[in-house]
A and B are shown apart, each in its own frame.
Chain A
Amino acid sequence: MSDLILELKELKTQFISKDSTVTPVDGVSYNIKKGEILGLVGESGCGKSVTALSIMRLFRDTTGKITGGSVQFNGKDLVKVSEKEMAMIRGKDIAMIFKEPLTSLNPVAKIGKQIIEVILKHEPVSVRQARETAVKMLELVGIPRAEQVMNEYPHQLSGGMNQRVMIAMGMSLNPQVLIADEPTTALDVTIQAQILELMKRINEEHGMSILLITHDLGVVAEMCSRVVVMYAGRIVEEADAENLFLRPRHPYTIGLINSIPVIGKNVERLESIPGNVPSLTNMPLGCKFAPRCSKALERCKAEEPGLFTVVSDGMERKCRCWLAAEPDKEASYA
């Protein structure tokens, strides 16, 4: 299919040290379509960030390693291309922004220099041209007095401004995909909304695909057309956003949605999912969610379900749950 930009197939990433091997991403497959915002949701430690790092292959200085699967991008398998080729793709075709904008920028280099650097790295332009592009980008992301900011340092800007700088930097080569790893988690709520709006605008005006990684379902509801839910290194549910929010199928997704506070709805206490995410070194045998699942059957504890494709009301979704595979049980938890 030509409208697929990035296609992950059975991606497996492991951190291997002398004493232990953990697998934070275990057989993950999903794809990103041209011009869409795909949400990747899950609790911290579920492997969503590692998935992003795997796409970019940013594992130097860690014990992380992609041990299986593929990442198809422009007809190439990013898992197999040389480090040199990968470096040419990073920043140019796939850009990434991170959770902590302040620490993600070099504290001793001027903002302008940091943006110009990425342009010069990938485009055969003069420093002056690169500078003009950088100023244009800063203006595009809504930074007032862009010319001045070029000569300032990250610590002189607010967190929201720094995240705008990161976005400007990521966009300056007009990449096909922007990976945003919890871009608003470290920001104030009002600033969050501004940054999200900016990303949405960029997506609409430039047709840039965005992979938005977050633990905040509210953000997903506002931004994404499609959602992938991850739990303990695996995808547990994938569906169009509307479909997912209105008719969640996986007990974990249901739990996540129920734990969002709703203004105006008077509740005794917020619902939460009992228990914790299983530790990577001590995974349950069957369904990874079974120990926390109120609907768990004997089968769930013994045997891990596959990612079933389910069609309901004419809409397709994927769900990793035995209950989803047996339509007759549907009534019991709907």
Chain B
Amino acid sequence: MKYQSQAVAKPYFIAAIGLFVGQIVFGLIMGLQYVVGDFLFPAIPFNVARMVHTNLLIVWLLFGFMGAAYYLIPEESERELYSPKLAMLMFWIFLIAGAVTILGYLFVPYAKLAEMTGNDLLATMGREFLEQPLPTKVGIVIVALAMLFNLSMTVLRGRKTAINLVMLLGLWGLAIFFLFSFYNPANLVKDKFYWWWVVHLWVEGVWELIMGAMLAFVLIKVTGVDREVIEKWLYVIIAMALITGLIGMGHHYYWIGTPSYWQWWGSVFSALEPIPFFMMTLFAFNMVNRRRREHPNKAAVLWALGTGVMAFLGAGVWGFLHTLAPVNFYTHGSQITAAHGHMAFYGAYVMVVITMISYTMPLMRGRAANSKTAQVVEMWSFWLMTVAMVFITLFLTAAGTLQIWLQRIAAEPMGFMAAQDQVALFYWMREISGLVFFVGLVLYITSFFIKGKEAPAD
């Protein structure tokens, strides 16, 4: 760690990991509810568990992105963070707002929560992933703006590199597109149309900039490859991400009441969306192969390679699988979407945040890398979580394929619940894979507490 103020990243990462655990616990609850329908009902109905599961994911990834930004921007800018105090204040505001929101979901009926928090003044709640009460949404904007001010001031007064500019651009995009969450017209088609300006333009747009910058930062550090080469790759990858992803948003506009020309725009451009993810895989492997140093943090290198591969599989391959309009006609709103969602989020965003944590945490704890034993445990957690996620995805894909056949293609189509009963075996296997994932996560956390002979800081 070159600058004192980079240490503000540490609480962000710790909070991220803590919320990650909560996310997985609720994922396991939901997975069980798929097969034991009345599990925990009425205490935690499925919709509440799902809100907690998805919102915790979003919030902990945001903690991860913010922590990453507070770490890498001072280092890239070659100066201390403009205001570490502001960063810490925002940490507590975000953590408390996040915790209160989750507790609200769990302990207050949703309609009551909406009434209490001013949803009648400006109705923004009750839309997938944007379920947060109005004060939480406003809080997210405030935290994001304060962070952007802090980071922008740091970059403006310091060295400007492709990495810190791309990171900053990604975070600005994140904040700006989130503003669409405040627009909720009564017209359902318009509501859905602009809802995607948050959801799609985040995960298939500006988040890819953030991911690219984080990956590039870690790759420079662990491989020692020339910055010029890495930054060139970064620009090409994010260029492809936005060139394909912006119009690729059309793949969400096939069946929601929008003009049918979106079937062409969406199919053609979103079919190209795997390209930037494939390039990320090539990028990670190429840079590691051309490394000029042997970094003692092997675990971080593993995560960096892993995120390249898994982002391509989850976002690229599983995305392509159902992105063409004639295919999507049958797969839309089925377990195929769930399969893709799980592996894409894990491969692209979970793993890149862990890559960053894996590289920076030892440095913030005063060493170049953790002990061999700790790294071995961390690498075990990598394989357990990653293989478990592959199986979760495969089982959901099988469930989805069967579901589509029974409910949408067969000569005598089954009703929704009848079809669900037929695919229950796959849901059970998904749940078991989920438990393996959880074991991997516990192991991951354990790895932070394992001592041993550590590589000294540079």
Do A and B interact?
Answer: no
**What is the interface of chain A, defined by CB distance below 8 A to chain B?**
none
